[in-house]
Structure 1
């Protein structure tokens, strides 16, 4: 098998980052090895080190990609839903759903990476930037941070209690709390 072109290498790198982003959110950074990521997209582990300096470099890039993709989707939702208020309501409905609870690999990056980032401080700057940008989409300043913290906390607790009646109660209670705090589609600022 011959060498891959620069274009193929770029596509492969993007595939690796996307797969890692999903797998890390699903199973955790510690549990998912380089071999797991590469196998999931049909590439060999040896090719990894031609593209990345280390697993830490991949974790940082996968975290940044997850947040950037999520923000891109939210900005697009503003346009599709006909404005921020409608987009915010749509986000609340999908965020506190059983589907989101049960699919962390494609869900909220703040929730998906929270446990690992708390234990691996070298990735906190990337994670913090992502949290700040997504909270800013919700609302400016502390209002956006408070609403985002409620979203993330609610989904983490719902995931941790999945399979019990409490899980769906948490989803409903967190949804209601954030919706009550909303004023014109955005959390209250004061």
Structure 2
């Protein structure tokens, strides 16, 4: 009986922890790291502020987990595109999905690099570590779609591709003119498609 009660408590705590991290992963993309407070996250997750330290040692620990989840969700979306697209069309499909109006409008569910890029350099080491791993994995995923995969040129081209994708999305979200936003996305897409054989 005691084991059943302990298992139920552990499962409830794990579910609460996952809810906090999921809420925080959306919040950091929507409001930035500095705009994401513990009290707001706990309230949005339906939990008391006091319960926070039962789950995390610090706000930075929560932000690192939230960044990790946001990066994992972004990576899963890209991997899904690759898995369900013919190999010779995978990169093109990824670029179209990433540099789309829909992605630009879905800030809290979209790419964490575009949502948080300018803030990340000022975050705790554990947050930067998560971001670094995600960037390296994404560069690798892009490079693997190249016919030159395995050669230095494919890696370098992937670095430029990712930089262009993230920069264009950041700028498209930053401007207050819909036509300019779309032009930024379209120009980046056109350039990247032309530069990838």
| Cα distance in 1, alignment partners of residues 176 and 99 from structure 2 | 13
| Cα distance in 1, alignment partners of residues 172 and 160 from structure 2 | 18
- TM-score, normalised to structure 1's length? 0.87
Deviations 1:142-174 (A, max 9, x none): 221111110000000111114343211111101
Aligned position for 1:169: 183
Deviations 1:40-66 (A, max 9, x none): 221111111100011100111111121
Runs of 4+ in 1 over 6 A off after TM superposition: none
Equivalent of residue 102 in structure 2, options 96, 99, 102: 99
Q: What residue ranges of structure 2 are gaps of 5+ in the alignment?
A: 144-153
When the two chains are superposed, the root-mean-square deviation of aligned CA atoms in Å is 1.9
Deviations 1:109-130 (A, max 9, x none): 1112212212225222221111
Aligned position for 2:193: 179
Moved more, 66-75 or 103-112: 66-75
Aligned position for 1:51: 55
| Cα distance in 1, alignment partners of residues 45 and 82 from structure 2 | 32
Q: Is the 8 A contact 1:135 1:148 kept in 2?
A: yes
1:13 paired with 2:17, answer: yes
| Cα distance in 2, alignment partners of residues 80 and 166 from structure 1 | 32
Q: What residue ranges of structure 1 are gaps of 5+ in the alignment?
A: 184-190
Alignment of 1:72-151 (within 5 A): 72-83=76-87, 85-122=88-125, 123-139=127-143, 141-151=155-165
Q: Is the 8 A contact 1:26 1:103 kept in 2?
A: no
Q: Between Structure 1 and Structure 2, how many residues are aligned?
A: 181
